[in-house]
Every structure is written in C-alpha cells, then in structure tokens.
Structure 1
C-alpha cells in the first residue's frame, strides 16, 4: 500500500501517524506492482469462479487463491495497523481497513475483501500522486537556487558555492544564468526574467546602482554585481523558508477536521459493533453473517480520509497558487483570515507610489543651490528613507560634496538632527521645525509636493520639494477592491494636502496625512474596536512594522520592502504591486470555497451511503466508492486551485 501524507503533517487517521512523512518525489512504476498483481489475481479468481462450469475453484483452493491476491495490498496495511496499535493508536485508518476486509473473509466474501483493499490501495497511490503534484508545483516554482557563483578573487573569476561568498565581493552572471545572491548592479544595465520571485513573466530592466535579487534570470548581457546579502539572507532563500514554514501553520478549519477525525474514528468503530450486536435483541430472524457484513460495509464507508487529506491539500494548493502569483502566505491560517478582509488600510510611500523620489525645487534665502544641497545631503546620507536617498542622489548627480557629520539622530516621523562643523543642523518636515520652535515661511505648508526644510543653528535656511509617482496599477487595484465591497483607507506621514490629492487621484475613500508611526497604529486600533472590521494593513517600511503586527492581516511589499516589515507581515507581495492585494483576496476566497465544497460533498455522500449500509442496502462496492471514490474526487477538486488563473 502507498503511504499517504497530507502536505501539513500527520492527520491522525489518514496518514502514517508515527512520523513517517517522507514521500518520494517520483513514484516508481514498481510501487504499482502489488496493486497490479492483486488486480490480476482477483480478475482470474472471479472469472474462474463464475464462468468456468464444474470448476475445481472452491473450498480451500478458493480461499488460498484470494488470500494470495489479498496479501500484496493487505500486508502493508496490516503492518501499519500493528505499528499504530503498538503506539497505542487503536482507532486509525489502517486498523479500520484491516478489520473490514478480514471480516469479509470470515463470512466468505473473499472477492469483496480483496476488492476493498485493492481499491483502497489504488486510491492511496492516487492520493499520494496528488499530494506530490501540489508539492512539486511549489518546489518547481521556488527551488531554483543556483549551485554556483562566479566570484572575482585576486584578479580572476572562480566558481564557488554561493554560501561561501562574502558581502562586498563581486560576482559575474552570464547570459542565461540565474543570479545566486542579492546585490547591487555594477554594470550599466541588463534585462531579467523575475517570474520565479514575482510571478511576472515580463522582463525587467535593472540599471547600475539598482538591486538585483537572487533567483532572477539574466537575459541580456554578462554583468557584474556587488553582493549585499549572504546566501541564507537572500530574497530567494527567504521565500523558500516562508513557503516551508507556511505548510506548518494550520487553518482553523483544518485543525477542526483533525480533532473531528480523532473523535469520529472510534465512534464509527463503536457504531459498527452496535450494528452487529443490537439486532440480536430486536430482530426475529437474526443472521450473524448478514449483520456483520452490514457493520463491515459501515466501517469501509466511514473512513474519513477524504476530509483529512483533501482539506489540508486545499490550503496547500492555495499557498501554491499564491506563490505562483508572487504572493507568499506565511500560513494556511492567514488564507482563512484574508478571505474575511473588508477593510484595507494602506501606507502611501512605497505601497501605492513607486517610492522613487526626485528633487523638484531648491529654495534658500541664504545659500546657493549647490551649498544648500551639500549640507542637506550630508545629513540625509545617514538615513535609508526614500526621500533621503533622493536628496543624496541629487547631490551626487551634481558632483556635490559630503561634509563630515557628527551626532546624527533620527527623530521618527519628523526628520534628522546632526552636527556639521559645530553647527546644529535640522532637516525634516514642518513638525520638526515646530518641535524645536523654529520660525519658517508658513507658505511652505500650502505646497502640495513633499517638502524637506533645513534649519541651521535654530534658524530657517530654506527647503527643497520632492515628488513621488503613483504605481501603474494603484488606481485599478483600488477600483477592484471597491467592486468587492472592501473599504479602502490611506495613511501617510506626508502632509495632508499631498495625501488628499493622491487619494483623490486613486479613488480612495478615506485618507489621513501628517501621521507619525504611532498615529497609524492608533488609527488601526480605533478601527479594530468595531468587531465588524477585518483589517488588512499594507506597508513596506521599518516604521510600518508595528501596524503590520497590529492588524488582522499584515501585508508587506516584499520586492524592495524593509526586512523588518517582511518579517512581521503575514503575507508578502514579491511584485510590490497593489493589485496583488486583490489577487491575494481572490485566492483566499477560492481556497475557502473549495474547502467548503469538499466538506459538504464528503458529508452528504458518506451520510447517504452510511445510512444505506446500516439498513443493508449498500454493498461493499458502494462502500468502496464512498471511501476511495469520494476521497479522489475531493482531492482532485482541492488541487484544482493550482490550475486556476487569477487576474
């Protein structure tokens, strides 16, 4: 018999409950030999018994033949039942099938005993194949880590294992090779296939200075990158770890079914026993073999493997479908929760916008543009915020200097404070100026673009304006959320005027600007006071981490998002596309529908055939369908989500 594994571990009844969870990646044809030999012997026995007149095929010869037919498929199951009983697990699938089939032999129903075990074993092989298919779909999608990195050492290139390459070293990637490690592009530019990471097939052009991620496929020319992260910290390794961890986090439905199976299995054993015993006292013409046969049919029908295999497989399929679309659910429980989301709260910068800022205007009543930018960039060079990077890039493009800076302090939600040549420098928003009591031109507050104000020794020195750009799919993402009846909210640390203008362009219903990180958390807390709200928060920065942890579902933009946000989030969107929020909701709803369909289908069919079996209407053949047939249909329905396309 083929041992079946659920994708998420032992199910207590339909799997090997003793920790045997390894399934071969490729099912050899030899695994089908026991079933084939039993099938051939069963057919020969039936033909000899029913179609050859005056046959020798009776008595001990008939019994011996069917025992030989039974052994290849029955012995492995009996062995598993024995092992389970030794572990004090009396009520399991193996003991259930052993009792039912050996019982059929005891009352002379030899062909049916062989047939039940044969079809059960074939069903298990198909189930194993379905589980492996779901696993291999994800493995083929993600397990693409290159085994070799071409690193530059001592003036020459050498091939080494990626986990031996250090941060700061240069590696070369040829055309058609996968990038082995995360790094900064040193070559002018190249095109990359990013489908393994993002699910997007359209090639992406990456230029010098931009990040290249492990798992991308170089399409254009030989390039060099400078390694930024070690092998185990690369984007690809992180994705693999997230998907592997996801299979160990059970959904509530899955946990409920597992608990149900532990109660249900001993209960049906007891009911089968009662079906045999109670008629002794209430039936006039009681025939033991007839009622024992009904009890055995009842046992075969009652096997709950259709539920305890197909439901975890349904969630596993949902996780696989999401991974294929560049979305990583960290557990089946988050698939459940995502299907209930009715309020999506989004950060602005890096979530709805590209987070690629450009300096638009430089205004200073004291300094010329170059001097002003040099002072500003020298301070902002100590921050990783996208606005700070834009200022640093602008200074670098104009060949500006970086002045020596001392005692840099980042004031969350406000800006930076530093010392340059003994002067106190403040660079940030209007809240920073107000915090330190610095008077500035109040007309700045009416500017729609993002403004960074500079003060030197507590005196206003000027400002620069910076503009961001909406992501191409931001508008359609919000429209699709609205079509699903989902309320949308945008929270931003930018000025309210900027946030409102952007929200109006996108079509977002509610918007609040001028928020500190703690203000965002307070707003989400306020929303959570209403029990009708199931809230998903979407962000990408370190300052979003507290709100991601606080919300019902935290969604991180993982392509270029901060590690802290990705670690805290429940769902990671590798493409950085807002439209994938809707895709994640669609996948979670589709998974829920499939799981519910399986539960309803299994209970209806089994309930009907159990009732017929108890009254002697159903035979072993109907029992086989109610067990193996229903299980296979439910499993095929579960893996359907892997083939489903989501827009």
Structure 2
C-alpha cells in the first residue's frame, strides 16, 4: 500500500518508497504536460461522446456490443497501466494495493453494465496520478537546480595551456581556470589574489561573496569578475555540493511518525475495506427480502472507490517532501521528514555563541603584559604555540603577531579541551588559554581582569602570569531579529558558551536572551541540555556540529551553522544551515510548523469527506460519481494543498 498511486513496476521500489518519488519526477521530467495527459484526454473525449449518445443525441446504433466496445476503448488508455500495476503488485505479494481496489471497482462496474462510471473512476484516478507526478517534480525542482549547478566540463591548465576536460576526470592538485560567468565544477583553493563569487546555488543568497587567495571556493559557485585560478582540493564525487545533493535526495528515507502511521494504517485498512465490500455484496442476501445482486454489488463498488486511502498516502509524503524542498530552496538542509515534525514542536533553542550568533572572526584588540618580560619574545613563543591549533582564537593571535618563528622548538604540545594550550620550551612551561587554564595550573593573576567584557586569553610562562590578549568578536547582523522571531514563535532561547561569562552575558543582553551561561566545558553543555530534557521539553541545539557533537547527539534536533565549511557537520547534524545566518533557525521551525499544519489539513479533509460520502453510500444515496469525488477529488485537493508549501515565503 505504501507505493500507492505509482506508475512504475513494484519491484523497482525500495521499502521506503524513495524510488517511488524519484520515478514520478523522472517520468514527469521526461514527458511534456500534453504527453502526460494524452491518455486521459483520449478517454475523456470518448467518455463525453458516449454520454452524449446515451442521453442527448438520438442514435439507434449506440447499444449492445457497440456501446460496450465504445466504453471499453475509452477505458483502455487509462485502465491498462493500472491493471498492469495491480497484476505486478499481486505477483510481488502485495494483493491489497490501490491498483487492485481500482481494478475491482471499475471491472465490476463494467460487469453490471455501468460503463460510464467504470471509465470515469479510472479516468479521474489517472488524472490524479498525473497531478501527483507533476507535484513531485515541482517538489524536486530545487534539487534539480542544484544538479544543474555542477558543470560536466571544466577548463584545467596543463603546462600553462587551457584544456577542457570532464569534471569527474580532474585530479586533486590540478589547476582550474574559471572565466567570468562560469560555474565551478569542483571544490578548490583560490590561488588568484582575489575573486568575487555568486553562491546562490549553495546558500539561496544572491549577494556576492568575495574570496581572497588561500580561501576555499566550492562547486556550484559562479565567478563574477576576472579570470580566477583554483587548485582542486576534492574529487568531483567528494565535493560539498555532491554531499549536499546526496543528503537532500536521501531525505525522504527518514519518515515522520505521521507518515509512518499512515503507511501502517493503509496496510491494515485496505484489506478490511475489500472484505467489507464483499460483505456488502453478499450479506444482505441473508436479511433482505427482495435481494438483488446487481444493486448490492453496485453499492459495494461505490464503497470500494470511496474507501481508497489514496488522498492520504499521496498527499502526506508529498507534504513532507514539499517541506524539505522549501527548506532546500532557502539554504536549509533538513535530513528527513521526521525532523520537520520535531522542528514544528521545538520548545527550546539552545545555541552556541561563537560562529552561531557572532561572526566567529576574532580580532585581537590589545596585548597587556608584565614589564619584567620581553614583549617581543613572549609574542614569538605564544605565536609558535598557537600555530599548533586551528581554533579561531589561535588564528586571531597569529594574524596579530605575524609570521611564526620556526626556530622555536616546542615540546609536549597539549590542547586541553575548553581551556587552551600548554607546551614545554627550554625546560620551562608556557600556557595560553582562558582563566580556567590558569587556575588549573595554580597561576595567580589580578582578579579584576575577570570583569573585562571581551574574550580574554591569558599567558603564563615559567609558572608566572605574563599578561593577556583581549579579543573581540562581532554579533551577526540578523542575530537580534532571530531572537525576536523565536520569541514570537513561543520558543525559549538559551546561550551556552565556553567563553568568559562576562562576554557571554554581554552578547546575550544585546540580543535579548534571558538565559546565558559562560565558562562551560563540553560536558557542562551536555548536563545543561540534559536538565531541559528532564523537564520533558524538546530541545534544538545550534552549534558547529563538530566540537559540540555530544550535545548535538543528545538534543532532539541538531542544527549546524556553516555546513559549507565542514564535511563532519553535514554528517552529524540533523539540519544544516548553509549560509551561517541565524535567522534561518526560526525559518526552519516555521517550515516545520507549516508542513505539519498542511499534513493535518489533508488528513482531516480526507477523513471528513470520505466519512460523509460513506454514510450517504450506506444509505443508498451516493452514486459512483460521488464516490469518484470522495476519492480522486479529495486526492487532487490534498495534492494541491501539499504543493502550497513550496510557494510559501518564510
């Protein structure tokens, strides 16, 4: 039942229906709209002519076997694919499929002489099929546009001579020449002095991104100005864009609880419907005096058509896929429909500070040092030690000091998680890190420095406090809007950071975050998130997805900022925000809420309409025409409703 309303052989589907969606979009992509509707157009014109001959145009010849043959020809263009599908489903062990129900209902209608109804049911069903295929194609259009961003060919330089080659044949280390207006086919490092790139294929943002020599540029980016040269750093299949495409294309494999319930429900519900229809046909014989087989068979066929769960089984996965597509269009990668449900119900957003609400680009403001030490010597030692780390603070210190003195030999370099670095030099110990590091090694310092409203990096040498750097980070332009938006959605916010408490409180006050905690180690963050979960509150954690992996794993949904910067981020997080903008956090939650709303609208619509028509059918009031509306009509309305999410602005 899970492959409801497919038009491909059953064996091509996997157990999760992912290929089912793919097949629909593939078919729709390969055919024009006219080609897709052609069988339905042929059937409709023959059906309308047949009805005209039956009721409006006097035609003595239109009866008997001619009338049967006419309606049979009208039935075949739309009926053959479904009957074929029903047969293949039975061969594969799925007897009670949607195709089987439609086959029984329409063949039964022909058996009792209700030819127009038989054709009409199958005709509207096939129209529903086409609309579904078109809807899935629309839902996948964002992914297709991403696929279009990967050029098949690139220009590489061999001995200074440009050569056009296939992207998949380019090796790591080769040099690509990228002209103005061209798309980059592989990830690489910019070796030209400067370049401006359009990153909209990856981030959804059209604002140009300026890169300087040594910075990473990614497949799918478009060169906006002069010719640039890029050294390839990853093979075609390993590019960030390839990983993102794989992630989004596989997103349908993670099913939401509502979707899983509907699938299980359909598997139990459909056989019950078939046996009830058999009961409606034969049981009245025992209780009704003037029992007429044809009358009760017609009622059973009406019941079968009304009862088909097509609207639910089509529109619910389509609604969730539309939500994933809407996220993708806005630069938010959601790894599965289950995370859309979780996002819709999030009560707490717990966020890191650096790189999430702030730019994460540190700059040293000043360096204060004790006069008994030689400032230049200390800076050289600190720079040599910080060159062993990739932390943003280390980068800031390196930029402040300048070139590393490679004549300095460090021993036993150790990075202490959440605190800083230590190493030996000339038999003495050097420490560079936060005040926790100083306290751990019993280094005494002036307590007043704890109140400085900047990130503070202390330095100790030979068991003595030498001085400290003050480092500032800027708050992201949309950070304040993000907090306001989260509050308007009824979501509580908390900031957790390993940075100094005074710095964290200062940033939190500017943004309007009530709960903010600093000086935290990774395990402290885990414990604080555990407390929220213990209060039966759902938690989304927003961080870099790598350093905060334990908290990401613990939270209900892990949201990673800057997915373009880290392969590990794409692997570990449940939701990846591609352009580092915190305003995408409330947008992701809103997409989740709107998706859930549309899914439940479709569930209620299907059950209410089918319930009303079933009651009318049981009373002998509803005919096959009402049954067609209850099934195919509701399915079409549900599909159109599900597609709405792809048109919404968030």
State the partner residue of 1:385. Answer: 391
> C-alpha displacement at 1:186, in angstroms?
2.9
Work out whether 1:497 is the aligned partner of 2:502: yes
Of 266, 270, 280, which residue of structure 1 is paired with 2:275?
A: 270
- 1:5–1:190 CA distance, 2 compared to 1 (3 A): farther
Q: How far apart in 1 are the matches of 2:16 and 2:291?
A: 33
Q: Distance in 2 between matches of 1:166 and 1:363?
A: 48
* Aligned twin of 2:568: 564
Cα 1:264–1:192 shift into 2, 3 Å? same
Number of the residue aligned with 2:94: 89
The answer (yes or no) to whether the contact 1:341–1:534 under 8 Å persists in 2 is: yes
The correspondence of residues 308-347 of structure 1 with structure 2, limited to 5 A, is 308-347=313-352
Match of 2:138 in 1: 133
* Alpha-carbon distance change, 421 to 224 in structure 1, aligned in 2, over 3 angstroms: farther
Deviations 1:430-468 (A, max 9, x none): 111222222334333232211222222333332211111
State the partner residue of 1:435: 440
The 2-side partners of 1:126 and 1:72 are apart by 17
Distance change >3 Å, CA 410–CA 614, structure 1 → 2: same
**Cα gap change, 1:623/1:200 in structure 2, threshold over 3 Å: closer, same or farther?**
same
Q: Please give the per-residue CA displacement for 1:389-417, whole angstroms capped at 9, x wherever unaligned.
A: 11112223xx5534343432211011112
Could you say which residue in structure 1 is the equivalent of 2:301? 296
Q: Which residue, 248, 257, 261 being the options, matches 1:252?
A: 257
TM-score, structure 2 as length reference: 0.93
Deviation at 1:212, TM superposition (A): 2.1
Partner of 1:454: 459
Structure 1 residues 55-96: Cα deviation after superposition (integer angstroms, max 9, x where no partner): 122222222222222222222222221222222222111111
Q: Secondary structure at the match of 1:239?
A: helix
Task: Identify the match of residue 219 of structure 2 among 183, 196, 214.
Answer: 214
Asked if 1:348 corresponds to 2:353, the answer is yes
Output the CA distance in 2 between the equivalents of 1:452 and 1:305.
Answer: 63
In the alignment, which of 601, 605, 619 is matched to residue 623 of structure 2? 619
- Matched with 1:551 is 555
Q: Determine whether 1:640 maps to 2:638.
A: no
| Structure 2 residue 82 is the aligned partner of structure 1 residue 77 | yes
Measure, in 2, the Cα distance between the counterparts of 1:15 and 1:446.
Answer: 56
Shift of 1:421: 4.6
RMSD between superposed Cα atoms in Å: 2.6
- 1:600 is matched with 604
Rounded Cα–Cα distance in structure 2 between residues aligned with 1:221 and 1:138: 29
Alignment partner of 1:542: what SS? coil
The residue number in structure 1 matching 2:177 is 172
1:128 to partner: Cα distance: 1.4
- For residue 381 of structure 1, report the CA deviation from its aligned partner: 0.9
Displacement of 1:250 in angstroms is: 0.4
Check whether the contact 1:613–1:619 (CA below 8 A) recurs between aligned residues. Answer: yes
Cα distance in 2 for residues equivalent to 1:234 and 1:88: 41
Cα distance in 2 for residues equivalent to 1:464 and 1:629: 69
Residue aligning to 1:150: 155
- Rounded Cα–Cα distance in structure 2 between residues aligned with 1:416 and 1:16: 50
Q: Which of 582, 587, 590 is the equivalent residue of 1:586?
A: 590
TM-aligned CA deviation for residue 18 of structure 1? 14
Q: How far apart in 2 are the matches of 1:109 and 1:291?
A: 13
Change (3 A) 1:439 1:159: farther
- Whether the aligned pair in 2 keeps the contact of 1:192 and 1:219 (CA below 8 Å) is yes
* CA separation of 1:390 and 1:159: change in aligned 2, threshold 3 A: farther
1:407 counterpart SS class:
strand
- Cα separation, partners in 2 of 1:95 and 1:271, compared to 1, 3 Å: same
Aligned-pair distance for 1:561? Answer: 4.8
Distance in 2 separating the partners of 1:122 and 1:562: 45
Structure-2 residue corresponding to 1:112: 117
Answer yes or no: is the 8 Å Cα contact 2:5–2:314 preserved in 1. no
Closer, same or farther in 2 for the Cα pair 1:33/1:563, shift >3 Å?
A: closer
* 8 Å Cα contact 1:429/1:453 also seen in 2: yes
Gaps of 5+ in 2: none
Please tell me whether the aligned partners of residues 18 and 84 of structure 1 are also in contact (alpha carbons under 8 angstroms): no
Contact 1:186–1:225 (8 Å) recurs in 2: yes
Match of 2:527 in 1: 522
User: Residues of 2 paired with 1:624 and 1:554: CA distance?
Assistant: 44
Higher deviation after alignment, 616-625 or 456-465: 456-465
Matched, 1:376 2:376: no
Contact 2:25 2:134 in 1 (8 A): no
Q: Which runs of 5+ in 1 are unaligned?
A: none
Aligned pair 1:540/2:540, yes or no?
Answer: no
| Shift in Å, 1:535 | 0.4
Q: Which of 22, 26, 33 in structure 2 is aligned with 1:23?
A: 26
TM-score of the pair, normalised by structure 1: 0.93
User: Is 2:206 aligned against 1:201?
Assistant: yes
- The number of residues matched between the two structures is 641
Distance 1:629 1:279 in 2: 30
Contact map agreement 1:492 1:515 (CA 8 A) in 2:
yes
3-state SS, counterpart of residue 253 of structure 2: coil
